[in-house]
Structure 1
Amino acid sequence: IFCSQYMSWTRNYGVQGTIFPAPNFNPVADAQMLAGALQGFGCDKDTLVAVLTQRSTAQRLTIAEAYQSVLGRDLIGDLREKLSDHFKDVMVGLMYPPPSYDAHELWHAMKGAGTEENCLIDILASRTNGEIFQMREAYYLRKEMHIRGTREEGYTDPAMAAQDAMVLWEACQQKTGEHKTMLQMILCNKSYQQLWLVFQEFQNISGQDIVDAINECYDGYFQELLVAIVLCVRDKPAYFAYRLYSAIHDFGFHNKTVIRILIARSEIDLMTIRKRYKERYGKSLFHDIKNFASGHYEKALLAICAGDAEDY
């Protein structure tokens, strides 16, 4: 029954992005427009926003090829040279294919003395097997990384769900290293459909929601990772709406998080994230971006979010 509820949710609340392939696409004309916008000491930022935020990732990559072919220059290199601050981060970020962008963000999150754990959690807790495989290949170009992508897909077993729920319950009670490993293996390897069953069985066995149990029994980034996995299983757009709200309101507009989520989800489920954001927090994502960002950086973020602009 719970699995059928999951499938019903995926049908009734289908996810939708905000950026789609532009009609009548002409990569050479776009490359020439971008070249003109990047000429001289200044640059035409409005043109950059108009072109790069209104093309799909595949189209942007074709534009970069045309830019190199016609002008003999690297578009990403020119964007890095001519732009600055967070506006540069947005424009450059848009030029990466999704696996490379994820790999780029992971690499930057882990380089240097500290590690930006929330970036790792956002990416690794939410990506599918296919996305992780492609990300891993992209990351190998920078540095070796051990991410397997072993989650089962489309598999359900009610009897096994009851067993797994009991293991999770024991893991929350015992909290030994072995139990933590078992908990992590179940949450990271079982299919989303199977985990819906497991969470329901966990509720039946313990009388407690699994998120509450994890929060009570564990702490730190391990706890945050486990909760992120559960929230992504239940409603991935709602998870990213929560992460955006936290980045905007709890951290004084954490630019890296906002940029990363908007770019990464723009062709997947950003429109649905917008809807969840407004449903849960009462104000539109547009409203909150306007309150904390400014200038062409604000314009770029709003353009990525826009879609049909129903709550602009």
Structure 2
Amino acid sequence: MSVHLLRCYLSLFIIQEMCWGTLGTVRPFSNFHPDRDVVEIQAALDKKDALTLVRILTNRSNAQRQVIAKTFGETTQKDLAAGVKKALAGDLEVLLLDLLMPSLQYEAHRLQQAMASLLASLNGKKADAGPWINILTSRDSDHLNNVLMGLELESGQMVEEAVEKRFAGDLRLGLKVLVECIQSPDVYLARRLTTLKTSIVQGIMVSHSEEDLLCIRVAYLKLTGTSLYTALQKEFKGDHLQALLAICRSED
């Protein structure tokens, strides 16, 4: 398999424009009053009331969460994210902090993580195809271009050179997975969700909650015979589970 073919596949990795606006599970809250939310959130932070924080933050769109964070800062002279860090811990803390990030900042955060994984694979004694396969098959075209440009700047070599130098048979596997992702991104993401790894589940659900999580839920059900809502209940627990279920929304 030539590296030129990889570049061709990457150039085709463009998710066609579709009307995904109504296919997310998290939508703008119709009776939105940020001042009321801030009062509830402030009390919840003081009491370390995770359920209230989950109820509010998983029922507001990203844009509404930014208004809440701004209003919270103006009202209390404190940073909402810092308050969440102080009140919570573990996976739930990470999930709610992810939800509080502006969409572009969250994608930049994921971009940084992706670049770190790819650089680590290049610097190791033995090539690790895992990060390449995972990243090249789970990002949209704009994100992929940014990752690859950043990688070239950081590593000092062209991506084509790095791939030619470091990989052989695993690249073929990566291309197969890439093709699947290009043809059916929702199916690929559903397949990723079957791992039920915390970082993967949270990354997909937060990123796709306002776009096409309903499609991913349908694909997950077809793929596994079990709804994502049920699968989450079997793997996670406590307030963290309730936050994930709130984003997932319902059974299929």
Q: TM-score under structure 2 normalisation?
A: 0.74
- Give the alignment partner of residue 255 of structure 1, picking from 198, 218, 223: 198
SS state at 1:38 partner: helix
Task: Provide the residue aligned with 1:25 in structure 2.
Answer: 32
SS of the aligned residue for 2:30 comes to coil
Contact 1:15–1:272, Cα closer than 8 Å, also in 2? no
Of 272, 290, 295, 2:215 maps to 272
Indicate if the aligned counterparts of 1:106 and 1:119 stay in contact, CA closer than 8 A: no
Taking the TM superposition and a 5 Å limit, the aligned residue runs for 1:115-264 are 122=134, 124-129=136-141, 136=146, 145-146=150-151, 219-220=169-170, 222-223=171-172, 225-245=174-194, 247-248=195-196, 254-264=197-207
Q: Which residue of 1 aligns with 2:96?
A: 91
- Tell me by how many angstroms 1:265 deviates: 1.0
- The answer for the alignment partner of 2:3 in structure 1 is none
Aligned partners of 1:67 and 1:75 also within 8 Å: yes
3-state SS of the aligned residue for 1:94?
helix
Aligned to 1:80: 85
Name the structure 1 match of 2:71: 66
Deviation string 1:233-286 (CA, Å, 9 cap, x unpaired) is 2111111000001x22xxxxx211111111111111111101111111111111
Please tell me whether the aligned partners of residues 119 and 257 of structure 1 are also in contact (alpha carbons under 8 angstroms).
no
| Cα separation, partners in 2 of 1:242 and 1:35, compared to 1, 3 Å | same
The C-alpha deviation readout for 1:207-229, integer Å capped at 9, x for no partner, is xxxxxxxxxx9533x34543343
| CA pair 12-43 structure 1, distance change in 2 beyond 3 A | closer
The runs of 4+ residues in structure 1 deviating greater than 4 Å are 9-15, 109-124, 129-133
Shift of 1:108: 3.7
Q: Structure 1 stretch 22-31 or stretch 102-111: which is displaced more?
A: 102-111
Aligned to 2:225: 282
Letter in 1 for 2:188: Y
Contact 1:57–1:97 (CA<8 Å) still a contact in 2? yes
Q: CA deviation at 1:230?
A: 1.3
Q: Distance in 1 between matches of 2:22 and 2:77?
A: 39
Selected match of 1:305 from 230, 248, 252:
248
Contact 2:230 2:251 in 1 (8 A): no
SS of residue paired to 1:145: helix
DSSP 3-state at the match of 2:78: coil
Q: Letter of the 2:43 partner, please give it.
A: G
Letter paired with 1:257: I
C-alpha distance in structure 2 between counterparts of 1:117 and 1:101, whole Å: 25
* Structure 2, unaligned runs of 5 or more: 1-15, 122-127, 154-159
Of all paired residues, the percent bearing the same amino acid is 31
Q: Which runs of 5+ in 1 are unaligned?
A: 1-8, 149-176, 182-216, 249-253
Distance of aligned partners of 1:270 and 1:82 in 2 relative to their CA distance in 1, 3 Å threshold: same
Q: Given residue 295 of structure 1, which amino acid in structure 2 is its aligned partner?
A: G
Q: Which structure has the higher relative contact order (CA within 8 Å, separation 6+)?
A: 2
Quickly say closer, same or farther: Cα 1:37–1:125, change in 2 above 3 A: same
Distance 1:117 1:60 in 2: 37
Aligned length: 220
Tell me the TM-score normalised to structure 1 length: 0.61
1: CA distance between counterparts of 2:132 and 2:201? 14
Letter in 2 for 1:237: D
